[in-house]
Structure 1
């Protein structure tokens, strides 16, 4: 079942408790390999990438106990082994690359398959990761189908300055630094909320990290790491997504949100489309007065802009949901993805709904919103939030629409359809023809 059938037009109303952020859960799962002490994780979502990592842990001989109904995962890597000749890390999953540092720390070797990728957002290079591994004393050899990383001794601490603030490269640096003797410093580090959550987990294990939430991380490693219990926060992506679904359908969805301090810029972006976000008593909701309208800037002769880049900019992962709002809202807005060069091609699918969208170049597009829209059958690329953005537009239109290849949603949101139904959506999975 990979397509979503949406019978739209109904305002969505109710309360939703979002799941944990997969971009925090997956790196933290990889980080548990750094310790041979028991670790309990609370709030782990039942998504495909989580299952893949847990499966490789079982293959490597780790103790794995999972109860997805409670979200509790118990891990104990006391008898873990790794053989690069026979053990393969999960393919078609970007997070596999974060298994490399703990494998190097424990076994001195790791093998990374060539087909390590995630959503089809454009070129996603691994060279910055290779550079980090080499900075910590590892050697990297290329074969036809894989990269083999060797480390003959203990990792050596170092200082590094990233070309750009990459989330996974920052996390790989922290993983390597946690295993290295001495103090390592990273400049131009990513600081997204899920990176902060990842760093807090490493701190719980006993890694000393200074600068969490900033662009400069100082990590003191080489200590014997312990275990413990860690509870995940709600995913700010999912919070914003359900807030947007409430707004685009003219409904009222309240979403549990224990970290509203992460939302000022997201709130102001919603306001550009006539949506007011209210945070109160651990819950967030959107308030819309009448028709969605693009806020006109005071500066004449320019369009309202939504610029997405590494945190503390608006996250690029959230850009598609605001494109959906731009399609629905009266007025014109420009959207600028400053990270990925292949993340905007899907917008041609919006024309099937009757939307007027102009793709200026691989990074920028303009919506001319507020036009009459009709139900349609559209196709999503392999990008989680794009599938959701197409669903948002469909949910705002009277009639039956179909989102083909919507399966990427399950990579991040285990109960997305169930949550939609709980707030009144008429939506169901169906098989591809």
Structure 2
């Protein structure tokens, strides 16, 4: 189990380039299975979860070539489908939640798809019903081996388009169904579809491969099935969750930071939400400039004067992946805020670590926490922590960077799952952080 040691209280300065979006990469990589032609993908982040999926694809028989930093070519013209029934596949798939999205492409192209119950963050229940109910609507037959915790879908006679109203606007569920539907016979209509930028990117890529998807960016997608798809070249967006992480880090450490090439048009209400905490965010062409908040930052109130309440919601609402960052940033704000995590029931349980560091947080229930900011009158204290998941891990790291003294964070593999080479990138802007084996 790896460890970070962080000497907090350092003011940072400089430019930082966000990595490619993790959540988009996991979808896009699975989509290469839909064609036997070559697919080139650029700006792939070098992180554990993505690298695990690339290895899984290679084990499945995808021909993979590294073309340069973050650039790979993929060719799925001679797959080893026997791998799907192997013990190695059960091990590979169960360690990565994103592996669920190989099922849709395999079902569409080969009439069958299998996956062990996937892993991922321990942030509460994350049902897979949306995925498989969508496949069933397209004509697939579902089976689940309870003893081996193994899912399967089969459609030996092919898939047929249908209308479906999703029970929840699941991002990965929508992506999986879309990838199955592009090769189905007839027209598929998906209502209450997720419309996150990652999903928009997937649909744009599939259309460039010859798919016929309309309604991209809305919650109503119409897909006219085609017989086959061709190759393409695609570039992954900068990671908006990492961008939000750097905004929070700059504010907490009173640092002047420029975040480069952020694709402002794809950030939605993220800048606006951070401004609710009083953080100054300047747009400079396609960069974000965060000035040093030497006088701190003040939480806004609602128009009627009531306490600010920030909650997550499906896009275009505020992404749940950044709520933990906002919570940490609020610990040094001037004023109070209620953080309401609606979508997952266990993501706020890391706040006990922040309370140990001196933060004033009232955990109301598994979904809500009230934060009373210190206004930098009382600095967080260094401590020893263990990262429970990716987003809590980066939040604890930001807290450690702002704290007085030397903090230790264990289980940093969780952070490495979502953030590329983070210690070296932070060192480049003045952080004192060491990776200890």
Deviates further, 400-409 or 246-255: 400-409
- Unaligned 5+ residue runs, structure 2? none
- Unaligned 5+ residue runs, structure 1? none
- 1:414 corresponds in structure 2 to 420
- 2:79 corresponds in structure 1 to 80
- Secondary structure class of the residue paired with 1:128: helix
Q: TM-score of the superposition, structure 2-length normalised? A: 0.94
Instruction: Spell out, residue by residue over 1:401-429, the C-alpha distance to the aligned partner (whole angstroms, 9 max, x if none).
Output: 11222221211222221211111100122
Q: Please, which of 366, 382, 395 is the counterpart of residue 375 of structure 1?
A: 382
How many aligned positions are there?
427
Asked whether the equivalents of residues 5 and 428 of structure 1 are also in contact (C-alpha less than 8 Å), the reply is: yes
Determine whether 1:90 maps to 2:104: no
Q: Distance in 2 between matches of 1:17 and 1:190?
A: 27
Q: Please, which of 114, 122, 125 is the counterpart of residue 123 of structure 1?
A: 125
Q: How far did 1:81 drift? A: 2.7
Q: How far did 1:214 drift? A: 1.0
- 2:396 corresponds in structure 1 to 390
Deviates further, 291-300 or 191-200: 291-300
- 2:296 corresponds in structure 1 to 291
* Cα root mean square deviation, aligned: 1.6
Determine whether 1:355 maps to 2:359: yes
Q: How far did 1:78 drift? A: 1.0
Instruction: Spell out, residue by residue over 1:360-394, the C-alpha distance to the aligned partner (whole angstroms, 9 max, x if none).
Output: 1111110111162211112221x211111111111
Counterparts in 2 of 1:28-43, with a 5 A limit? 28-43=28-43
Determine whether 1:148 maps to 2:148: no
- 2:346 corresponds in structure 1 to 342
Asked whether the equivalents of residues 254 and 294 of structure 2 are also in contact (C-alpha less than 8 Å), the reply is: no
Asked whether the equivalents of residues 187 and 217 of structure 1 are also in contact (C-alpha less than 8 Å), the reply is: yes
- Secondary structure class of the residue paired with 1:325: helix
Asked whether the equivalents of residues 183 and 228 of structure 2 are also in contact (C-alpha less than 8 Å), the reply is: no
Q: Distance in 2 between matches of 1:220 and 1:256?
A: 38
Q: Distance in 2 between matches of 1:268 and 1:48?
A: 31
Q: Distance in 2 between matches of 1:137 and 1:209?
A: 20
- Secondary structure class of the residue paired with 1:123: coil
Q: How far did 1:258 drift? A: 4.2
- Secondary structure class of the residue paired with 2:321: helix
Q: How far did 1:264 drift? A: 5.2
Q: How far did 1:289 drift? A: 5.4
- Secondary structure class of the residue paired with 1:52: helix
Asked whether the equivalents of residues 299 and 336 of structure 2 are also in contact (C-alpha less than 8 Å), the reply is: yes
Q: 1:289 to 1:269 in 2, by over 3 A?
A: farther
Q: TM-score of the superposition, structure 1-length normalised? A: 0.95
Instruction: Spell out, residue by residue over 1:191-222, the C-alpha distance to the aligned partner (whole angstroms, 9 max, x if none).
Output: 11111111111111111111111111111122
Asked whether the equivalents of residues 19 and 242 of structure 2 are also in contact (C-alpha less than 8 Å), the reply is: yes
Deviates further, 98-107 or 71-80: 98-107
Deviates further, 27-36 or 363-372: 363-372
